[in-house]
A = this chain, B = another copy of it.
Amino acid sequence: MSNIKKLKCLICGAEYQPEDIRYTCPKCGDEGVLEIIYDYVEIKKVFNKNFLESNTDHSMWRYLPILPIDEPDLIGPLQVGWTPLYEAKRIREDLDISNLWIKDDGRNPTASLKDRPSAVAIVKALELKEKIITCASTGNAASSLSGAAASVGLKSYIFVPQTAPVAKIAQLLVFGSTVFAVKGSYDEAFDLSIEATKKFGWYNRNTAFNPYMVEGKKTVGLEIIEQMNFEAPDYIFVSVGDGCIISGVVKAYKEMHILGLIDYLPKVIAVQAEGCRPIVDAINGDGEVKFVEPDTIADSISVGIPRNRLMAVRDVKELNGFGIAVSDEEIIKAIKYLGTVQGIFAEPAGSTAFAGMLQCLKEGKISKKDKMVILVTGNGLKDVESAKKAGGEALIIKPNLEAVKEKLN
């Protein structure tokens, strides 16, 4: 059995036991997102630096005592997590920043961070003896769930906006999912998937509906903490759509603090695109999230109704962070910069956090000496159209040396 103590509603504070509840708080409806609270006293007995040092599991499951898994035997075969944290030496030199790290989470099985929560989702589905799993997604949650489901033999029904990048849809189909390409926004696909879940009784993995997804996402934070030798940075930059990844990162730090493994908490910065900045505006303003019509190239964070808004705004404020927005142009420029200077290939939402850091430097919100971590959430191969915008053009030549010389002059 897991070390979960209770699930607590973010709105009314009602508490539930895991066996009594599946998704959101019945009193508050779909808005009543539940937060997982563990028995930290119990966890402390086994989970410490020694436990981690001697742990030979180089995947997200090395953190099993603080994950919501009852039956570890049901964990799927794909190797998720323990992605590289790069010191980004060339960017440090180029920008004269002394303390910069980049976590490349595009190195997961289906090439995005979302493999982490999806790996949790399939275990929960199997624990409940469910046979069909579903989700709505801008693309990455979908392809990660689809791959994870295939790896354990669960059937999957996936809802994506029809406009999702072709590479992400191609992944879903290769993994054998039934794919509903919805003529509408991600927000519409999300609502439809909840309706379908209620109608057909499938197991649902949607962000901020299924309470365990933040738990999967927090493993990226746990890894950063361990990879930085249990020292928190000053700032962590995270791109934000629904706001579930950023809450995962904050939860990692808060829990490691509770467990006495780190001494202080970092400031966590929410980065969104200018054309879709409801969370940024709420954090920097009165805390109220106003829904928007999204308009950005960064499809993974093109979310007008952020489902994890309450938790995300609370978390960033609690850690004294703030929000910042960047233009699509800066997002595209950041893709090229990360690729050219450091050899890291990010999708638009993946480069957004980096663009946000540059913006903060420019506005004097942070200093060049601060210790900073940038989270890259997905690989650039996920969205080749955007990569082409960033990369420019190849030189088309006839197969002879004269043609090469001509282009070099």
By beta carbon, the residue of chain B nearest A58 is B58
- Interface hits, A358-409 → B, CB 8 Å: 379-382, 384, 387-388, 390-401, 404, 407-408
> Is B90 touching A390 in the complex (CB atoms < 8 A)?
no
Across-interface contacts of A29 in B (CB, < 8 A): none
Nearest CB of chain B from residue A23's CB, rounded to whole Å: 18
Q: How many residues on chain A are close to B (CB under 8 Å)?
A: 81
- A180-B395, A183-B397, A396-B181 known; A167 vs B170 contact (CB < 8 Å): no
A342 touches B393 (CB 8 A): no
- A149 — which chain B residues lie within 8 A by C-beta? 343
1/0 per residue A172-184: CB within 8 Å of B? Answer: 1111101111111
Q: Which of A119-143 contact B (CB under 8 A)?
A: none
Q: Which of chain B's residues has its CB closest to A191's CB?
A: B399
> Would A340 and B150 count as touching, CB distance under 8 A?
yes
Q: Are A343 and B148 in contact (CB under 8 A)?
A: yes
**Are B110 and A395 closer than 8 Å at their CB atoms?**
no
Tell me if A192 is interfacial: C-beta within 8 Å of chain B.
yes
Query: B384 to A339, Cβ gap below 8 A?
Result: no
Q: Indicate if A169 sits at the interface (CB-CB under 8 A).
A: yes
How far apart sit A305 and B86, CA to CA, in the bound complex (Å)?
Answer: 39
Q: Do the beta carbons of B178 and A395 come within 8 Å of each other?
A: yes
Known pairs A340-B150, A397-B181; A384 contacts B87 (CB<8 A): no
Residue among B86, B150, B182, B391 making CB contact with A343, cutoff 8 Å = B150
CB–CB A407/B175 < 8 A:
no
User: Would you call B84 and A404 a contact (CB within 8 A)?
Assistant: no
Q: Does any Cβ of B come within 8 Å of A109's Cβ?
A: yes
CA distance A178 to B393 in the complex (A): 9
Q: Is the CB of A399 within 8 A of B192?
A: yes
Q: A87-B77, A189-B399 are in contact. Are A111 and B183 (CB under 8 A)?
A: no
Residues of B within 8 A of A176 (CB): 336, 339-341
Q: Is A246 an interface residue (CB 8 A)?
A: no
A333 to chain B, nearest CB (A): 11
Question: What's the minimum C-beta distance from A170 to chain B, rounded to whole angstroms?
Answer: 4
Question: In the bound complex, what is the Cα–Cα distance between A111 and B404 (angstroms)?
Answer: 28
Structural contact, B404 and A171, CB atoms closer than 8 A = no
Instruction: Name the residue of chain B whose CB is nearest to the CB of A93.
Output: B153
With known contacts A90-B151, A381-B111, A399–B343 Cβ distance under 8 A? no
Given contacts A169-B394, A175-B343, A396-B181, contact A109 B107 (CB under 8 A): yes
Kindly report which residue of chain B lies nearest to residue A77, judged by CB atoms: B86
Asked if A78 is at the interface of the complex by the 8 Å CB criterion, the answer is yes
For A387, give the chain B residue with the smallest CB separation: B170
A45 contacts the other chain (Cβ, under 8 Å)? Answer: no
How distant is the Cα of A186 from the Cα of B345 in the complex, in angstroms?
A: 25
Chain B residues whose C-beta falls within 8 Å of the C-beta of A14 in the assembled complex: none
- Output the residue of A179, A196, A335 with the most chain B CB within 10 A: A179
Q: Tell me, yes or no, whether A162 is within 8 Å of chain B by CB.
A: yes
Contacts of A398 in B (CB 8 A): 182-184
Interface residues of A (CB under 8 A from B): 58, 76-79, 84, 86-90, 104, 107, 109-111, 147-153, 160, 162, 166-167, 169-176, 178-184, 188-189, 191-192, 195-196, 199-200, 335-336, 339-345, 379-382, 384, 387-388, 390-401, 404, 407-408
6 contacts between A and B (CB under 8 A): A58-B58, A150-B343, A174-B340, A181-B397, A188-B399, A192-B404
Which 10 pairs of residues, A with B, have the shortest CB-CB distance? A173-B391, A151-B343, A176-B340, A174-B339, A381-B381, A184-B399, A179-B394, A150-B343, A170-B387, A181-B394
